[in-house]
Amino acid sequence: MKRKLISTLALACGLSLCAALRAQENASKPAPPQPSHAGANYSGTYAFLRDAEFVQITVEEAGRVTGFVSRYGDLESDKGAFLDQFFKQGKLEDNRLTFTTETVHGVWFEFKGTVERGEGKQAGDEAYYVLHGTLIQNVTDANKKVATSSREVSFKSFPQDLAPAPAKRE
């Protein structure tokens, strides 16, 4: 009976030691990075109007949004050239997103809409988030007259590789 009690105690101590070691091991592993503020998960790259065009969004603290639109030029002088239009201002309140780009070659954009969950199954999948809203394109002509056009758009997030980069082998 004494041997059975000692064996049971030894087994219990061994299991406790294993559990403690496993907990310590898990505590020493770095946790996956968590966004430090609300909306940071929305940061990323989204498709824009045409293939190869995109909008890059970074949600900072207090709902400030920075980023840029990278697109092909449409005018005679820049047709086919890739243009980057940085945000002049941008804001995120809850899931409501607005931004206005700087003017490049007489063209600037305004976006007013929302960030919503898309059809992507897990974070990092294509279309995990989608920007839905109204995109206004403003074009200034040679006479300084502004022509405005608006359209409803849905911009899908690009897929991302969320796994850490594999260690280099030597």
Q: What is the pLDDT of residues 119-170, one digit of tens each?
A: 999 988 999 999 999 999 999 988 999 999 999 999 999 998 754 555 555 5
Stated as kind and residue range, the H or E segment containing 44 is strand 44-47
Quick check: is 66 in a domain? Answer: yes
Quick check: is 165 in a domain? Answer: no
Quick check: is 33 in a domain? Answer: no
CATH number (domain holding residue 151): 2.40.128.30
- Write the single-letter amino acid at 74: D
Whether pLDDT at 10 is above 50: no
Quick check: is 152 in a domain? Answer: yes
Quick check: is 26 in a domain? Answer: no
Tally the domains of the chain.
1
SS3 category, 155: strand
Provide mean pLDDT across the span 36-43. Answer: 76
Quick check: is 170 in a domain? Answer: no
Domain boundaries, position 115: 40-156
Handedness of CA 108, 110, 116, 118 (dihedral sign): negative
pLDDT for position 142: 86
Quick check: is 15 in a domain? Answer: no
Which 8-state DSSP code applies to residue 62? G
